[in-house]
Amino acid sequence: MKEKRKIVVIGGSAAGPKAAARAKRLDPDAEVTVIQKAPEMSMASCGYPYFVGGVFDNRNALLSTPYGEVRDPNFFLHTKGVTARTETEVVAIDRQSHNVCCRDLKTGATDDLSYDKLIIATGARPRKPVIPGVDLEGVTTLQSMKDADFLRKIRDDKTITKAVVIGGGLIGIETCEALQLSGIDITVIEMLPQILMFLDWELAKVLENHVRSKAANVITDVRLSSFIGEAGKLAGIRLENGTELPCQLAILATGVIPDIELAKNAGLTIGETGGLAVNEFMQTSDPDIYAVGDCVELIHRITGKKTRAPFGDLANLEGRVAGENAVLGNQVTFPGTIHTGICKVFDFSAGSTGLSEFRARQEGYENLVTVVNASLDKPEFMGAKLLISKMVVNGQTGKLLGVQCVGPGDVSKQIATAAMAILGKLTVSDLVTADLPYAPPFSLPIDHFIATAHLMENKLKGRLVGISAVQLKAQLNQGVPPFILDVRTPAEFDQMRLGIGETLIPVGELRDRLGDLPDDKDREVICYCKISLRGYEAARVLKAAGWKNVKVLEGGIMAWPYRREK
């Protein structure tokens, strides 16, 4: 009789259960065991901020299948055929004997469990700053169900009036929204010059302005110095610039680091980024051990370099690959990541895929071309909402490198389309005639994504000379202002304007008022409107009339990240 294959999975959050279920489906005779340190399994951790914020009240929804069954050990045993041991910790891996030593966290008892193939899915742990007061009562993270329960109780009890979030990344901003919706006065502290570092500065600033509009404060470019305590409880924070902010709650959202101590002690190879090194089969340096999820490092599919990508969707995909390979041999691969992500920011969404301009330049790309497009996601008569996108392209090959998108419109659709275009190695010439779905409830006849590609094509062919808001602001700060032409209507100008020395000439009057333009045809002229569609029309008129140095402010007023006069 054939001996049953033994598969042991360490970690029961996202990647581990996925690997276990996949292995059992493909080899029903296999003995599959999941060891989970926490009391819960298969937690939807990306949903924690929304549970805290009261978007939904049923805690079990974070642990349940789409049809409402809680994914506990009983569920895994009877529905999946997988043995799950919760509140149990693997304390050592003996690679020679193919055993793991397990400790029951309730009784302290230990036992050994043998394996043919082992899958490590130990995840990541919060990065905690080493500063005074970090262990005060009231300083927490949002990494576990226990953390989510703690913050939800604070929300429900309404005992906290002021809180700070340390870190302006995905979790930090989502937690900011959750606490603000709970009626708590909230401040986000970010040591870098901007929030959401996966965006370029000008788009991140648009998001920051939106967060501020929701009565949440944001302080960037300053480090936290210490937590201030009274009788063992948090009373405030002190920043390195001397500023003190009173608060009774502080959430650490300063990132995560791979939880690799178990693997490291077992002698497995650790990668250059600090994650566990794996090959394309999700196999570690030991051929009988696989690793998946937040504890591993991956290949960046654009740069070819090692990177870490602690995202729940990738964890599931990696688990699926490792589970299959553990029972059938190395038949499937996981090719890596392009860092596609999205988050909700109050009424806006923010998403990106591939490389931002900042990251691309860090990676040594020199011949970059970027364009910013502000336009609607659907016709106005269907309840249109604004989208602001930035596209990054290799100027030599025309290949798409990255797209970022923010706004109240359908950001997810834009980023999903862009991600597939990058994975398909498409160029701008492919994108300008892309066959995407159209109907008024869903998009414009020329979708925002295709319109962004059209702008890029015009730029690559020299038909559009753009200038970004950042570039224009830098020129203004240097005291060498160009001739700035606002081509909207007087009513629009009266309602909202930049106040940077612009001249108003509606585009419909421009041909008859060319005499109001500078006599020097070499003078730099910058045209714009609300989204710079009319700005581009105006630029074409001026070019035809002989002005040689005409540019369009990309994204127009709607993408302007600085203070406006009105």
C-alpha 278 chain-centroid distance: 23
SS3 517: coil
| Order of strands across the sheet that contains 185-190 | 139-141, 249-252, 162-166, 185-190, 217-220
Residue 46 bears catalytic tag? yes
Closest CA relative to residue 174, chosen from 188, 163, 158: 188
Task: Please say whether the beta carbons of 406 and 412 come within 8 A.
Answer: no
Q: Which amino acid is at 76?
A: F
Using alpha carbons only, what angle is made at residue 45 by residues 84 and 297, rounded to the nearest 5 degrees? 85
| Order of strands across the sheet that contains 83-85 | 83-85, 31-35, 6-10, 117-120, 289-291
CA distance 368 to 378: 29
Q: Which residues contact 233 (CB under 8 A, 6 or more apart)?
A: 136, 137, 138, 248
Closest CA relative to residue 172, chosen from 151, 188, 155: 188
Q: Which residues contact 445 (CB under 8 A, 6 or more apart)?
A: 438
Closest CA relative to residue 154, chosen from 143, 166, 169, 142: 142
CA distance 426 to 456: 14
Q: Which residues contact 466 (CB under 8 A, 6 or more apart)?
A: 371, 372, 455, 459, 551, 552, 553, 554
Closest CA relative to residue 302, chosen from 272, 268, 336: 336
In this structure, the dihedral spanned by the alpha carbons of residues 90, 93, 99 and 100, taken in order and rounded to 10 degrees, is 0
- CA R_g for the chain: 27
| Order of strands across the sheet that contains 550-553 | 466-467, 550-553, 525-528, 483-486, 503-504
Task: Please say whether the beta carbons of 338 and 367 come within 8 A.
Answer: no
DSSP category for residue 506:
-
Task: Please say whether the beta carbons of 256 and 310 come within 8 A.
Answer: yes
Catalytic, out of 46, 101, 247, 529: 46
Q: What is the bridge-based pairing of β-strands 88-94 and 99-104?
A: antiparallel
Using alpha carbons only, what angle is made at residue 127 by residues 124 and 132, rounded to the nearest 5 degrees? 150
Please report which residue ranges of 351-410 form alpha helices under DSSP H: 357-362
* Active-site annotation, residues: 46
